[in-house]
């Protein structure tokens, strides 16, 4: 029988697998990167690894919580498409993340685009299912509303978690137009619900005009420290990472990355851009400096591909998710000894 050289069968056979080890990405020396379905980093789907994985890459196509430009519902698949370029060895962390642990693409959580409350409930329930299998989550948004149900689920498992929030904005506002659940309010809700460890909360990359000084006062009362994008520029990524690491210690850590933490030059494809942001190099270097932290799950949100150019934003987001996945894979491998 002649071997089929195309289609799903050929694609599955080209997945790199160490004997009894994790199923890795499709081998790009056999099937070019631009061919075949765009799972994250060309990794297997969850069903192709028997429904069990150490790190689940999950999309949440939801952007009903945005206050300005919509479009982040398409972010997850734009990141997956850009992630075709990711290669299996990460020299910056001296690790092969997809060989150290099983990483699989768990597809998207299907949420109601017309009912935010129901969407938030659906995301929490789906996250409970995934975390319940023992997997860590690498979530691709979606707008920032989704961080609240993800944090609820993570806190059920780990207790209140330390939070590192990379964003141009505080996202600790109270309500918009009377709505409690929006992309500008998830972390105030999370503090109110007691699911964050308020001794280890930081915003990174903050900048831009606010409604008033009270925004900062309120935010500080909730326990947040702020590393502005100017701080990152002046002090450098290493010093910032050192300071963050000291604040976090060995607490279970959740990292939430709004891609608008980057300057619009590095991430034009987003809903609420602000001038004067970090470079993608600074963001990646800070993350690498946090490799020893106990990262239990993470998200990358607010990629809105309709405003992107040449996949600039989606490429930055895919590399960001890659660094986060590498941190988790290394820790999983270390814990196994
Ligand atoms: Mn945000």
Measured in angstroms, how far is the CA atom of residue 293 from the centroid of ligand 1? Answer: 22
- Structure confidence at residue 262 (pLDDT): 99
Distance 258 CA to ligand 1 centre (A): 5
**189 φ, ψ (degrees, to nearest 5):** -60, -45
By the 10 Å C-beta count (0-12 exposed, 13-18 middle, 19+ buried), 333 is classed as middle
Quote the ligand 1 centre to 139 CA distance (angstroms): 14
Is the confidence at residue 5, as pLDDT, over 90?
no
The 3-state DSSP composition of the chain as helix, strand, coil percent (nearest 5) reads 40, 20, 40
Question: In percent, how much of the chain has pLDDT > 70?
Answer: 96
In order, the DSSP letters of 79-126 are HHHHGGG--S-BGGGTB-HHHHS-EEEEEE----SS-HHHHHHHHHHH
Taking the CA atoms of residue 264, residue 265, residue 267 and residue 269 in that order, the dihedral angle to the nearest 10 degrees is: 70
Tell me the CA–centroid distance for residue 143 and ligand 1, in Å.
7
Q: Find the 267 Cα to ligand 1 centroid distance in Å.
A: 13
- In the prediction, which pLDDT does 305 show? 98
Give residue-wise pLDDT tens across range 255-286.
999 999 999 999 999 999 999 999 999 999 99
Residue 147 Cα, ligand 1 centroid: separation in angstroms? 9
CA atoms within 13 A on the CB side of 47: 1
- Distance (angstroms) between ligand 1 centre and the Cα of 166 equals 8
CA 66 / ligand 1 centre spacing (Å): 9
Whether the ω angle into residue 142 lies within 30 degrees of 0, i.e. cis, is: yes
Residue 41 structure tokens: 């980093």
pLDDT computed for residue 68 by the predictor: 98
What does the pLDDT read at residue 120?
98
Distance 175 CA to ligand 1 centre (A): 14
Phi, psi at residue 12, to the nearest 5°? -65, -40
Eight-class DSSP state of 254: E
Q: What is the mean pLDDT of the chain?
A: 96
pLDDT value at residue 3: 42
Q: Tell me the pLDDT tens digit for each residue of 77-98.
A: 999 999 999 999 999 999 999 9
Q: How far is the CA of 168 from the centre of ligand 1 (A)?
A: 7
């Amino acid at each position: 029988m002649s071997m089929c050289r195309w289609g799903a069968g050929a694609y599955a056979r080209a997945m790199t697998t160490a004997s009894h080890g994790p199923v890795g990405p499709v081998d790009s020396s056999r099937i070019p990167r631009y061919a075949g379905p765009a799972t994250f980093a060309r990794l297997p789907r969850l069903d192709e690894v028997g429904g069990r994985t150490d790190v689940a890459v999950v999309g949440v196509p939801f952007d009903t919580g945005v206050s300005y430009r919509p479009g982040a519902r398409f972010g997850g698949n734009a990141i997956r498409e850009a992630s075709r370029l990711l290669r299996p060895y990460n020299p910056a962390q001296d690790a092969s993340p997809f060989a150290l642990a099983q990483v699989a693409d768990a597809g998207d959580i299907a949420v109601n685009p017309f009912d935010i409350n129901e969407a938030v409930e659906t995301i929490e329930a789906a996250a409970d299912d995934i975390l319940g299998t023992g997997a860590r989550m690498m979530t691709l948004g979606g707008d920032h509303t989704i961080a609240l149900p993800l944090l609820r689920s993570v806190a059920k498992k780990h207790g209140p978690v330390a939070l590192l929030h990379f964003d141009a904005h505080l996202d600790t506002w109270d309500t918009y137009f009377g709505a409690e659940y929006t992309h500008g309010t998830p972390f105030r809700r999370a503090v109110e619900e007691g699911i964050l460890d308020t001794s280890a909360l930081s915003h990174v990359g903050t900048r831009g005009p606010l409604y008033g000084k009270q925004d900062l006062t309120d935010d500080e009362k909730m326990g947040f420290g702020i590393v502005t994008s100017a701080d990152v520029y002046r002090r450098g990524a290493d010093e910032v990472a050192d300071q963050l690491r000291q604040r976090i210690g060995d607490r279970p850590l959740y990292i939430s990355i709004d891609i608008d933490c980057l300057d619009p030059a590095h991430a034009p494809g987003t809903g609420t851009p602000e001038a004067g942001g970090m470079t993608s190099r600074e963001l990646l270097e800070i993350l690498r400096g946090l490799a020893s932290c106990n990262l239990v799950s993470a998200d990358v949100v607010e990629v809105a591909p309709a405003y992107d150019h040449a996949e600039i934003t989606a490429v930055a987001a895919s590399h960001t998710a890659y660094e986060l996945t590498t941190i988790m894979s290394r820790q999983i491998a270390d814990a196994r000894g």
